[in-house]
Structures are given as structure tokens and as C-alpha cells.
Homo-oligomer: A and B are copies of this chain.
Amino acid sequence: MNQRTVFFVSDQTGVTAETLGHSLLTQFDGQEFRQVTVPFIDSVDKARAAVQRINAVGAREGHRPIVFSTLVQDELRHVLREADALFLDFFDAFVGPMELELSMQSSHKQGQAHGMADMASYMQRIEATNFAMAHDDGGAARNYDRADVILLGVSRSGKTPTCLYMALQYGVFAANYPLTEDDLEDGDVPAILRPHRRKLFGLTISPERLQHIRRERRAHGRYASSQQVGFELRAAEGLYRRHSIPFIDTSEKSIEEIAAAILNDTGVERRVR
């Protein structure tokens, strides 16, 4: 099967066009796609240059490319539509029905999403990220009062990337606490966490997957041994169950899925949209 080239064209970062496009491309199993992001197309000249680039690829490959566009300005969309490509524009498809529904005209201003329109939410995300960094894997400065959620789990169960993702994507203050061998042998909620019991959320993972991940880090020794991994996970899950701490298995889940499941299960609100 021939490769197709897909362009994500945006007057801004391209994040929306990429997200949108990826979701659709995953629906076409077996077709190979080459993906090219063309961001910051904010003038007619740049739009014309993008058209030339798209047409050149189509001519070379013998198949017209697919273009996912999130161009807000009619003028730029008009230029892009002249490319010899399947042109799928996001505002074309949805802005019309929304204008009708809301009985108002849209602003057609570029660069609204992923922009700095809202300084408060920007600062919120930065603060949440700093919080996650400062409260990662038992960082010294602990301010659990400020945490929206505190993730528990054994080493390499997915706590750190999940906390960072929740901070960057949702502005949520997420701390994480690594369950040490002492904690696991003790079996009780660690003393420092007891005042914050209702914020606790546990992560677990299958022994096979954890062994695989730990081996990548340290191939030999107890850390990645099946005995050690088995003990830690049994003890962690036992602790969650005994103390009614909600938990999920991260083995088959992406970072986005873990984060979305935690927000959904705990009812913690997104601080940023």
C-alpha cells in the first residue's frame, strides 16, 4: 500500500490539528501515513508557500496529500483550499452549526486556542507543574495541604508522568508519594499522609510490566526481580484495599488514560480548560 502524506496546517501551534488528525488516522489500520506539521501559517504568503509544499509532495508521491486544517481566517482557508489535496477543515465543519445554535457570529480571530488569551490559566499550569516537580518522589518540600490529589505507588508504576501531565494539561496540583519497602512492610498509611487520606489515590501495575520497565532501568539485582516486584505489588494493593484507597491498574493505560480515569474517579475538577 502506498504511503500518504498528511499535513497539519495551523495559524498557530498545530496542536489542535495534530490531535484531531491523529484520532482519525488511527481509524485506518494498515495505511501508512507520513505526518508533517506546518504551524504558524498566519499570512497569505505563508499560506501560498504551504500550498506549494503540499502540491510538490503530491506530485512526487503520485497521491494527493490529506490536509487537516485549523485556519480561522477565511482568507487563509481560501488559499489552502486551492491545494491539490483532500482538505479537511475543522472550522468549516463546525463553526456554522455553532453560530446558528448560539445566534451569534464567531470572532474568526486566530490564535485563540493554545494561546495566552488567559494569563490566569497559564500561571495556574506553571504553578501546578512546579508543584508536581517539588512533590515528586518524596521531594523535601511538602505542602500536601495544597494538593488536589496525592498519588501512591511503588517505584516505576507511573506516578511522575501522570502528575506532570495533570499539571500541564489540567492545572491540577498532583503530588506523588513513592511507597518504600518500610511503608510496604508496615502496611499502614504512612504517617505524613494520614491527615490527607481523602486525597490519596493508588496506582498499581502488572508484575510482568513492572519487571519489564525496571529492567530497562537496572537490568540486574533485586530491584527488577520477580520476587521483589511481586512482593511490592501485593503489599501495595493490600494497603489500598485495607484503607479503602481507590486505585487503578496502569498496565494497559496511556498517561492520558490514567489522568482522565483519576479525575473521573475522584471528581477532582480541572482547574484549566
Please give the residue numbers on chain A whose beta carbons come within 8 Å of chain B beta carbons, in ascending order.
4, 12-16, 18-20, 22-24, 26-31, 35, 37, 39-40, 64, 66, 70, 72, 86, 88, 90-91, 93-95, 97-98, 101-102, 104, 106-109, 112-117, 122-123, 125-126, 129-130, 133, 136, 160-161, 164-165, 168-169, 216, 252-257, 259-261, 263-264, 270, 273
Contacts and interface: CB of A to CB of B under 8 A. Distances in A.
Given A12-B260, A24-B94, 10 more contacts: A16-B23, A19-B20, A22-B273, A27-B109, A31-B102, A66-B101, A86-B97, A129-B160, A133-B136, A133-B160
A13 B257 contact: yes
Given A129-B164, A168-B161, A23 B70 contact: yes
A5 to B, nearest CB: 13
Contacts of A164: 129, 164, 168
A130 to B, nearest CB: 8
